[in-house]
Amino acid sequence: MSFETEMIAKRFGLEPIPESVMRLTRLIGHQNADLEAVALVIKQDPMLTARLLRMTQRGDQKDQQQDDESAVQMALMRSGLGLVFLLAMGDLLMRALIKTFKIMLSIQLEAAHPREVAPILEEHMLCEVNFRGKAIGKIQLRLTEETGRLLASRMMGLPAESLSSSGQKDDAVNELANMVAGNFLSNLADAGLSCKLTVPIVYRSSDFTIRSVPRGVCERMVFRSREAKLFLDISVNPWNE
């Protein structure tokens, strides 16, 4: 981790990138990474373990006699290193989102299990960013119009009820996405996974399905605060040149 990133984390009470995630990114820097070494790192981090088991649908369904260590090894054998890339990059993206919201909006986001938060059933705002480098991928941030109005209000310092224009909300969400992308890029660079990101685009959609890149693996992360809820989708294909 860079000195600047560490100082910002300390100043705003943010958790730095865990050593386990840094070790994981170093291991997957090469396509011939040792799965046993990867499994050892994941098993030592409860959050990485929980996410891996959830993504492979083992978190709730695994045999009661099977411990997490065996479950992690089985999950990696079934899914391979593509899912490990998703674990690492998803962690870096999650921290970028939480950092941006806390510093820029004074909103403390907390991660929630996707099953604990009701999906967005109506047309909603969707901000999309693509990336390419050590892997190719797609990031999508989904939020309701009400949440978009709240974020625009915080960004512009205006009462939420005064913001009726969709353009104002779009501009604010786009600017916020740029900040998240910048923090994500910084995290990727610190972890040795440098990538280039496209400019964020904001549009509306009634489709709540995760949109994966070709031959990619994907994850949906959910965040909420007292004021809002957000859905953050990431899809990664590490083997596409």
CA distance 145 to 123: 8
What's the pLDDT score for residue 2?
41
Segment 178-203, tens digit of pLDDT? 999 988 988 888 888 888 999 999 99
Q: What is the mean pLDDT of residues 133-143?
A: 92
Segment 120-136, tens digit of pLDDT? 999 999 999 999 988 89
What is the chain's percent helix, strand, coil content, to nearest 5? 50, 20, 30
What's the pLDDT score for residue 9?
44
Burial pattern 129-149, b for ≥16 Cβ within 10 A else e, equals bbbeebbbbbbbbbbbeebbb
What's the pLDDT score for residue 60?
47
CA distance 123 to 37: 44
CA distance 235 to 214: 9
What's the pLDDT score for residue 225?
93
Segment 53-78, tens digit of pLDDT? 888 865 445 444 456 778 888 888 88
Residue predicted with more confidence, 28 or 146: 146
Q: What is the mean pLDDT of residues 199-217?
A: 93
**Rg of the Cα atoms in the chain:** 18
Of the candidates 223, 215, 209, 227, the one whose C-alpha atom is nearest the C-alpha of residue 126 is: 209
Of the candidates 44, 55, 3, 54, the one whose C-alpha atom is nearest the C-alpha of residue 21 is: 44
Segment 82-118, tens digit of pLDDT? 888 899 999 999 999 999 999 889 999 999 988 899 9
* pLDDT greater than 50 at residue 5: no
Segment 150-167, tens digit of pLDDT? 998 888 888 877 777 788
* Cα dihedral 141, 144, 147, 149 sign: positive
Of the candidates 164, 168, 23, the one whose C-alpha atom is nearest the C-alpha of residue 84 is: 23
